[in-house]
């Protein structure tokens, strides 16, 4: 009997991180790191796990979107799905009626991404490989066939993508060995949350250097005098050699961004991340021109490959920050990795939250082995929160991500954690009043 | 006792337009024009109506988003809400947790827009004025205070907006009189749906000219040979003087758009609408450079004011197509109208669907009276579907929208229609199987 997808189960799971202001930044003073979590189950008992990362309220909308899309997957033959996840991605993002709600943006697109990632997780488990290895073992032709080039050809054609992948074929085996031996560089955002006091900031900066990190990141944009003081403390703590990136989380308009960064430039910031609206391609380009040689980084809210295409075409960014859970899953991120390579811009993935480190490491490691062939000026963001809730958590050593070896995309949450933190009825939440903005 | 919002009631209402292929275009072969409909009720029994226009499947997600946002409105004092709808808009779009799901884009942003429009509908009813008149009677200072300039100041400052509005103050009374006497120009999309045969196309083109329209629109992008034939039929039917716009509904990549439009240029198309991804600011600019003197129009999927800002900064469009139900309501559309005026680009609102004509006419008429002061090269899209379901339907005469005079934003759907077409349990739907992609 043909194996089929028998169910698509969703869970609204929220971790009360706001109680300690972990993850606090200029736009997210009190996030509760959360996920619209999904499990595909097959008639043979196999599973694929995926998630949409959220920051609390509104997770129920992501769950609703996943449920609406799930009908396109339930009942489908598994072999067919796994043979061509790109076809699944196109179906989920291209439904002629649901598409009106985007297109290819916002919570519906994120929900599609959660489902697509779950299909890839199932594929990698089935293949007995971690996702980065599954992807690295595909041929250039197979990879290119997984990408929707429809809106991208003015910047990257199928032939150019093939040439990039073929050009990176040499040395793949060596890079895979290096990856397995030494891992992939990480940078840490742990010291720099806005909610931490100066003493904690200085201590965490020193600990980060001691732990082997070459790049740390501070949140900025709350108050200029505070930022100047905090940058001074951080620079003092880490010395002149360690890179310090700063992250404004979209708080500024374009003129504010330029003025504010002028004040911080004395402390040699490495990049300014999300200086303004993530939609403002031309704004990022203006900021980049004004703040050079400080680099401009963005991408965690880049809602689809068309936005990355433009950021690269406009010369608006120095660093591409892919996110595993913003665009429509692995397939759209393959397109973004290839666009970045075409334009010669390094990829430093956004992570943190809950599950983002676990998922995105696979994409960065695939990029190293099969696309860019380099880890120079590249690092995956790392934050040491909530990894204990994952069955296959990231492993960090000496400021580097160790390559995952378990089959899948590392997306599975421990069942006991899902049960405890399920919203609103899990025991960790049932005692609390529901947030104001969630009504029945 | 203080009057408060006592409830925010939502309805998923869908009209089975796909049964006759009304509204068929290159990306929407079978739309069911629908709405996530909302009614704010106050403790005094007053009502404000709003809606998010959708095309069928996925309306339930828009309803879920509205319900999640509703908690920010229920219980609020009405006088305070109506005194500053801009504060409501900022609260709905700026919630630090829900914002992660956009920001300011997709179904959550659209849901915020539906609620903001309902607040304005309530305000206009309370004032006893149609919305266009309520807006036109505000001072420049009051209007500017209703706009969030945070991400816009590199293109438009508060002072520039004030100057534009003050500059348009002269002649307001005259223009209001002209508007009430003669209405506002309309253009019609009725002849040009892809699903219609050649005979019907020719007949509807002739009828449109006879009815007084100076501009008609054809859907294109399905098949080039068909488009060439249909453009020929339409040009033949309307003669050389009537403008024919064409609309590709995002079907093309940038190179396709340029090639295709070259083939259609022999028939003197007036504008090409949505030639490619609505997110592709630079792509629209490239198309515009290539297809001039054919104009480029877009906006119905422009997800926020930052996108319109860039389209204008990049010189990417000749026509700004605002939509009443895509951005976060009246307030964000005020920003877009002022941006268009700053850059000297005319506004020709997108309408059709269900309710879009009813709502957006107020914005165009306000623009004429208080912002642009002109109807030259301007027209509101008109499609003659589904108006019978509105309590205060648009009135068209001689190819012009007559100014609405009833208090409010004309958003209210007839209660019997809401009951009949409620999805999935209204009598018009209960007998049908649910669409494949809607699961519980």
* pLDDT of the residue at B440: 35
Closest-CA residue of B relative to A64 is B61
Shortest Cα distance, chain A CAs vs residue B147, angstroms: 14
SS3 for B134? helix
Averaged over B284-312, what is the pLDDT? 98
Shortest Cα distance, chain A CAs vs residue B410, angstroms: 23
Q: Which tens digits make up the pLDDT trace of A63-118? A: 999 999 999 999 999 999 999 999 999 999 999 999 999 999 999 999 999 999 99
pLDDT over threshold 80, residue B438: no
- Using a CB-CB cut-off of 8 Å, the residues of chain A touching B280 are 151, 306, 309-310
Q: Which tens digits make up the pLDDT trace of A177-207? A: 999 999 999 999 989 888 889 999 999 999 9
Candidate from B68, B102, B105 with C-beta closest to A438:
B68
Find the Cα–Cα–Cα–Cα dihedral A431, A436, B1, B4, rounded to 10°.
-150
Closest-CA residue of A relative to B440 is A67
DSSP-derived letter for residue B402 is P
Cis check for the bond before B424: say yes or no (omega within 30 of 0): yes
For an interface test with A, the pick among B40, B154, B155, B300 (most A C-beta atoms closer than 10 Å) comes out as: B154
Inter-chain contact B440–A67, Cβ cutoff 8 Å? Answer: yes
Q: Quote the Cα angle for A232-A234-A239, to 5°.
A: 95
Inter-chain contact A437–B107, Cβ cutoff 8 Å? Answer: no
* pLDDT of the residue at A27: 76
Buried b (16+ CB within 10 A) or exposed e, B330-340: bbbbbbbbbbb
Please name the residue that has the structure tokens 């999927």. B301
pLDDT band, residue A417 (cuts 50/70/90) = very high
Enumerate residues 6+ apart whose C-beta is below 8 A from A298. A273, A274, A275, A278, A284, A311, A316, A317, A319, A321
pLDDT band, residue B30 (cuts 50/70/90) = confident
Q: Which tens digits make up the pLDDT trace of B299-357? A: 999 999 999 999 999 999 999 999 999 999 999 999 999 999 999 999 999 999 999 99
Q: Quote the Cα angle for A350-A24-A280, to 5°.
A: 50
* pLDDT of the residue at A433: 57
Q: Which tens digits make up the pLDDT trace of B244-273? A: 999 999 999 999 999 999 999 999 999 999
Q: Which tens digits make up the pLDDT trace of A336-385? A: 999 999 999 999 999 999 999 999 999 999 999 999 999 999 999 999 99
- Per-residue tokens: A343: 């334009």
Query: Do the Cβ atoms of B234 and B200 come closer than 8 Å?
Result: no
Averaged over B119-126, what is the pLDDT? 98
Inter-chain contact A153–B255, Cβ cutoff 8 Å? Answer: yes
* pLDDT of the residue at A437: 44
Enumerate residues 6+ apart whose C-beta is below 8 A from A413. A13, A35, A37, A49, A51, A355, A389, A390, A391
Averaged over B401-418, what is the pLDDT? 98
Helix (H), strand (E) at residue A397: strand A396-397
Percent of chain A with pLDDT over 90: 92
Helix (H), strand (E) at residue B164: helix B158-167
Inter-chain contact B103–A437, Cβ cutoff 8 Å? Answer: no
SS3 for A327? coil
Inter-chain contact B438–A62, Cβ cutoff 8 Å? Answer: no
Shortest Cα distance, chain A CAs vs residue B416, angstroms: 25
Decide if B219 is catalytic: yes
Averaged over A421-440, what is the pLDDT? 74
pLDDT over threshold 90, residue B424: yes
For an interface test with B, the pick among A5, A26, A97 (most B C-beta atoms closer than 10 Å) comes out as: A97
Q: How many CA atoms lie within 13 A of B335 on its CB side?
A: 27
SS3 for A20? helix
Give me the helix-helix angle, B85-94 and B106-127, nearest 10°: 160
| Distance between CA atoms of residues B166 and B83, nearest Å | 22
Q: Which tens digits make up the pLDDT trace of B310-322? A: 999 999 999 999 9
pLDDT band, residue B18 (cuts 50/70/90) = confident
* pLDDT of the residue at B434: 53
- Using a CB-CB cut-off of 8 Å, the residues of chain B touching A30 are 96-97
pLDDT over threshold 70, residue A438: no
Enumerate residues 6+ apart whose C-beta is below 8 A from B267. B228, B231, B232, B234, B235, B244
Averaged over A415-419, what is the pLDDT? 98
* pLDDT of the residue at B437: 44
Among A232, A233, A231, A258, which residue's Cα sits nearest to residue A246?
A231
Inter-chain contact B280–A151, Cβ cutoff 8 Å? Answer: yes
Among B402, B381, B100, which residue's Cα sits nearest to residue A303?
B100
- Per-residue tokens: A274: 């999300």
Closest-CA residue of B relative to A255 is B154
Inter-chain contact B96–A30, Cβ cutoff 8 Å? Answer: yes
Among A263, A219, A211, which residue's Cα sits nearest to residue A238?
A211
């Amino acid at each position: 009997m043909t194996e089929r997808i028998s169910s698509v189960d969703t869970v609204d799971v929220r971790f009360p991180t706001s109680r300690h202001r972990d993850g606090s930044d200029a736009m997210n003073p009190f996030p509760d790191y959360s996920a619209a979590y999904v499990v595909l189950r097959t008639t043979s008992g196999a599973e694929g796990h995926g998630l949409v990362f959220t920051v609390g309220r509104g997770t129920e909308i992501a769950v609703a979107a996943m449920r609406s899309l799930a009908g396109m997957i339930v009942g489908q033959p598994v072999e067919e799905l796994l043979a061509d996840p790109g076809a699944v991605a196109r179906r989920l993002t291209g439904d002629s009626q649901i598409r009106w709600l985007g297109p290819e943006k916002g919570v519906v697109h994120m929900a599609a991404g959660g489902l697509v990632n779950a299909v890839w997780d199932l594929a990698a488990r089935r293949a007995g490989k971690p996702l980065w290895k599954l992807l690295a073992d595909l041929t250039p032709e197979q990879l290119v066939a997984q990408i929707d080039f429809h809106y991208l050809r003015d910047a990257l054609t199928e032939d150019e993508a093939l040439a990039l992948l073929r050009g990176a074929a040499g040395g793949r085996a060596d890079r895979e060995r290096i990856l397995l031996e030494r891992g992939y560089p990480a940078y840490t955002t742990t010291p720099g949350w806005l909610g931490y006091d100066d003493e904690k900031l200085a201590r965490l900066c020193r600990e980060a250097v001691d732990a082997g990190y070459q790049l740390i990141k501070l949140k900025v944009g709350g108050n200029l005098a505070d930022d100047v003081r905090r940058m001074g403390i951080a620079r003092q703590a880490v010395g002149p050699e360690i890179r310090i990136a700063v992250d404004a989380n979209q708080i500024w308009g374009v003129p504010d961004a330029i003025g504010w960064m002028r004040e911080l430039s004395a402390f040699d910031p490495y990049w300014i991340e999300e200086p303004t609206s993530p939609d403002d391609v031309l704004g990022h380009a203006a900021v980049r021109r004004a703040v050079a040689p400080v680099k401009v980084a963005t991408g965690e809210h880049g809602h689809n490959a068309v936005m990355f295409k433009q950021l690269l075409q406009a010369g608006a960014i120095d660093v591409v920050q892919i996110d595993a859970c913003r665009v429509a899953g692995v397939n759209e991120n393959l397109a973004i990795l290839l666009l970045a390579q075409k334009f010669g811009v390094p990829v430093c993935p956004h992570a943190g939250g809950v599950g983002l480190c676990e998922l995105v490491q696979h994409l960065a490691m695939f990029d190293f082995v099969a696309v860019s062939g380099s880890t120079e000026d590249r690092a995956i963001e790392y934050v040491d929160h909530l990894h204990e809730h994952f069955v296959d958590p990231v492993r960090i050593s000496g400021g580097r991500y160790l390559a995952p070896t378990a089959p899948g995309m590392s997306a599975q949450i421990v069942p006991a954690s899902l049960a405890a933190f399920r919203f609103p009825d899990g025991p960790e939440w049932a005692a609390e009043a529901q947030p104001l903005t969630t009504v029945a």
